[in-house]
Structure 1
Amino acid sequence: MSTEPSVAILGLGWLGEPLAVTLAGLGYRVAGTTTDAAKAERLRQAGIEAALWNINDPLPPAWPTALAADTLVLCVPPGKVSDYAATLGRVTALAARAGVRRLLFTSATSVYGGTGVKTEADTGPDSERGERMLAAELRVRASGIPRVLCLRLSGLVGGSREPGRFLAGRRFEGGEEPVNLVALEDLLRFIPAILAREDWPETLNVSAPHHPRRQDFYRQAAELRGLPPPDFDGGGEGKSIDGGALCRWLGLDYEVTDWFSWLAERKARG
């Protein structure tokens, strides 16, 4: 295993691709996986070793040489993987046998159920999606990789993910529930800072500190894009994800602290 800073990113998608570019700019040797041959070639031209690999296919007998790295970042959403927990368990066990020392798994705050403020200690899913994500966390923790951090991400916005389009023109319940979101620009600040440290905790939430009502946020998001706003029934206490432990540990604050200002600034940029 090389001694230079090295990261392999499984899933060069919405988060994985800009993360790879960011880390390469910071001097890391970066490799990753995609199922898109054109994207792989484009990333190779940018100095990122991009391997074609669909983890739904049978696993190779050994960890690919192109992905040899000290740290593995898993950015593979459950909707693209059959038998999510078991597949990630097999992949990370293969990585462990190859000498991968650290694993950052981009999990989700769906592992929290119920209502009220949720910290990292409040795990208890009340949905099938949450159960699936928690099962995946348990499997990657059992992989044999010495250090594992499950980074529980709130709803993802920014980049190509335009929240004005998420709910436009439709009707939903729970308009009073708080939104729990994190912007791509904050993730691209936090993750490199995490990778630069060795004293990883087991779990951290990533959720901006502003939690407006769903009906207020998504109506404004749609209107700013000239889309029909969603309609909400009232009610719904919901839950608020506390992402403060990450800030205290890293000594970094969220850049996005007001979602309505973020929406307006995004609109102004086009």
Structure 2
Amino acid sequence: MTNEQASFEDILDLCIERLRNGESKESILSSYPEYMNQLEAHLHLSESYDKFTRVEPDKSAIHKTIFAMGAASSEKRTRRSFLLRLQPSLAWAASLILVFIFAGYSAVSFADNSMPGDFLYPLKLATEKIRLVLTSTPEGEIELRITLSEKRLREVVALARKGNIDSMIINAMLSETKIALESLEQLPASRKEIVKTKLGYFSGYQSNILTNLLNVVPEDDGEVLSGAIKTCSERFLECCRIDRVQNNHNEETQENENTTNHTICPFVKTR
């Protein structure tokens, strides 16, 4: 994780804390104008999570969890508490894992297919947050963010078919891809261009899907969609432009090598 990403995570933790203390979202966003778009989407999702009704725990799951925690405690009495060693955002995610164990696997599974406005949608968002926290490699995180961005795209399409456009969902979709693009610098050179090309074509795919929605949404929502389409198109062109430049460079290098070989050995006959 880069220093910039770490800084954003810290800012997000502070903003969520301020939001839960009753401060208005507008006041919070005005404190960090450089992160306004990203923070607005995440704070919207945080509000949705806070509205989630607590699920009645499964007693058998509770017993199994308590037994497992007791066994782990007896084996590692001298180690510090796992939650105490985590950053605030990680501790929050780890706590949610226990909630999900209590709720049962089926609830999480059903939540994955939920849409904005559904009862289980906040659980879906919380599960995604945990998956991000538990992802251990930069490329794995990028792949997961592509998956999450595609999920937001599907939600945008589902809402659009009902005549609704949620700018928060669109911003969350764009934010996931943006973070994935920024994370490319963490990849080795052998993987960077491959993953970058994938992100480019994915952005082009998003642009095409959103363009098709222009005909089915109210005119008032067209501006929001057009802005997202422009962003996706620019990302597609940027990734593909760099890809083409790299290919052209390789072709020129190969051509120069061939020319050099003929210059050095002009009398060598080819078979």
Same fold (TM over 0.5): no
Structure with bigger gyration radius = 2
TM-score category by the smaller chain? under 0.3
Higher helix share: 2
**TM-score normalised by structure 2 residue count:** 0.27
Higher strand share: 1
